[in-house]
Amino acid sequence: MNLKILLPFKVFAEKTDVLRIVSETHAGSFGLLPHRRDCVAALMPGILIYETAAEGEVFVAVDGGVLVKTGPHVRVSVRRAMTGADLGQLRQAVEQEFLTLDAHEQNVRSVMAKLETGFLRRFASLQHA
């Protein structure tokens, strides 16, 4: 398989001759072998594992995104990614950086929703005046 990991602003990794890929979805772990049917999966923040004959197993911490397999090509599009040799450190990075940032993003969205609601109320009162 050919694996391409895409970030919003660049190609994070591009690998050929990938033997297998394992990623995490909301339904649990999701594995891909070369002859698996085409598919799409929504990824959650976690560890993506791919294996090549040359490198062995490689661990990549990914933020939520999408995995698309079409024929021998697998494309993974995520917001953030980081690679590391120590699985424990990568798992800790996912918990600290990706999941904490998601909580911060939820707070920002809540504040923005309140601002938008206030703006719409004021706009509606101007129209009725």
Q: For 32-77, how does the pLDDT look when each residue is reduced to its tens digit (9 = 90+)?
A: 999 899 999 999 888 899 999 999 999 998 988 999 999 999 999 9
Residues in Cβ contact with 19 at an 8 Å cutoff, skipping those fewer than 6 apart: 1, 33, 34, 51, 52, 53
The answer to pTM > 0.85 is no
Q: What would the pLDDT profile of 86-120 be if each residue is shown by its tens digit?
A: 777 787 777 777 666 566 666 666 777 778 787 77
In the predicted model, what is the mean pLDDT of residues 16-31? 92
Domains of the chain: residue spans and CATH: 2-128 (2.60.15.10)
> Helix (H, G, I), strand (E, B), or coil: what is residue 71?
coil
Strand 11-15, strand 39-43: pairing: unpaired
Closest CA to 65 of 50, 90, 46, 83: 46
User: What are the angstrom distances between the C-alpha of 87 and each of 9, 15, 16, 55, 125?
Assistant: 25, 20, 23, 15, 56
List the structure tokens of 47: 């560890």
Neighbour tally for 21: CB within 10 Å: 22
List the structure tokens of 102: 């998601």
